[in-house]
Structure 1
């Protein structure tokens, strides 16, 4: 949720063409109700600014490469209250979605530039450059790659000073539930890094606000 306000493009679906591939295996750390906590670093020429961020998964459908949730930014300078957005995600499973975004102003070159920021993507690069990764079998891969697109503000108006025009390239670790991501929006600071860790609410005492989504 960077600070430049621009109009959001309308999301559109893209479809994979390799029906022989299967979705990534179900992961207990990537399921409805799971919460994550961490930071998003918003950089500028003058300073580095880290926002505290909470994420909760509200829906997950691995068969269709879909998930959704809420993102809460806690210490946004221009906002009087935490800013909550609702996002929808695409899981790169080579069946429903490939590594090439095909929308949201992202070119294949932008895709490669961002995916290569994740060390776990390196073994996949050569094949992705050939066909977007359609022929890859990610079923047993230790990482799940996704795109998260914020759809609307939950608790504030569009005049809050933030933009949701861009989207996040996301890498999820199946082993420990950690998430890293990079925000892409041509009109915002590049490579804003999202770093989240899975939270154990019962033992750590971390509490997450509830929001009714309509």
Structure 2
């Protein structure tokens, strides 16, 4: 059943006019409610090359529980008359609430390691993750935040739209520039579909995002 999204602020928030200086910003600063990101998801298969333009907005965040949620909008989906919007919920890998091992959604520890290793920033953590899933790691000041995003339902189209949200995303967020990289995992879909997003500085580049009320 659809749920109402309760918004909660991260410890500190930046206005839409903030410029990125290249220095590492405080963790989670750019993951606050209302933050928007724009980019692409590569959905190419053996038959054809294809990429969808994607917008993401964070709608809720609870850092104590390692939780965040938001909407994802795909703009040029074939056979879709309108942009396709989904609601997703995320798990922040904080070694307290969640580790690097997923333990659900048909993902094995081997699947987890293969996907996390796609991120160069994960390399220094690999040996410890292989030992205990990363439970003993202190990630509070690490310049990258690792997450899993799981789409829960379609916001503006029916389940008969021909698309699937059975899988989930392995996500890496850069605290230095607010960029997001991710890889979609679904045993029944093309492997390693790459998600690439940049923080959208609204007011500077004219980026807009459709509004949806989630209830």
* TM-score for both structures, normalised by structure 2: 0.87
Gap regions ≥5 residues in structure 2: 1-25
The answer to whether the Cα contact below 8 Å between 1:37 and 1:197 also exists between their aligned partners in 2 is: yes
Distance in 2 (alpha carbons) for counterparts of 1:211 and 1:26: 28
> Shift of the alpha carbon at 1:28?
2.2
**Which residue does the alignment assign to 1:124?**
125
> Shift of the alpha carbon at 1:110?
0.3
1:164-206 Cα offsets, whole Å, 9 max, x none, are 0000000000111000000000000000000000001111110
> Shift of the alpha carbon at 1:92?
0.2
Q: Secondary structure of 2:43's match? A: strand
> Shift of the alpha carbon at 1:46?
2.0
Superposition CA RMSD, Å: 0.8
Aligned length: 190
Distance in 1 (alpha carbons) for counterparts of 2:63 and 2:121: 21
The answer to whether the Cα contact below 8 Å between 1:36 and 1:54 also exists between their aligned partners in 2 is: yes
1:106-128 Cα offsets, whole Å, 9 max, x none, are 00000000000000000000000
Distance in 1 (alpha carbons) for counterparts of 2:201 and 2:190: 32
**Which residue does the alignment assign to 2:104?**
103
**Which residue does the alignment assign to 1:90?**
91
Distance in 1 (alpha carbons) for counterparts of 2:28 and 2:102: 24
1:90-114 Cα offsets, whole Å, 9 max, x none, are 0000000000000000000000000
**Which residue does the alignment assign to 1:12?**
none
Distance in 2 (alpha carbons) for counterparts of 1:114 and 1:180: 12
The answer to whether the Cα contact below 8 Å between 2:27 and 2:140 also exists between their aligned partners in 1 is: no
Gap regions ≥5 residues in structure 1: 1-24
The answer to whether the Cα contact below 8 Å between 1:40 and 1:195 also exists between their aligned partners in 2 is: yes
Q: Secondary structure of 1:29's match? A: helix
Distance in 1 (alpha carbons) for counterparts of 2:105 and 2:47: 28
> Shift of the alpha carbon at 1:26?
4.4
Distance in 2 (alpha carbons) for counterparts of 1:144 and 1:26: 8
Distance in 2 (alpha carbons) for counterparts of 1:36 and 1:62: 19
The answer to whether the Cα contact below 8 Å between 1:79 and 1:161 also exists between their aligned partners in 2 is: no
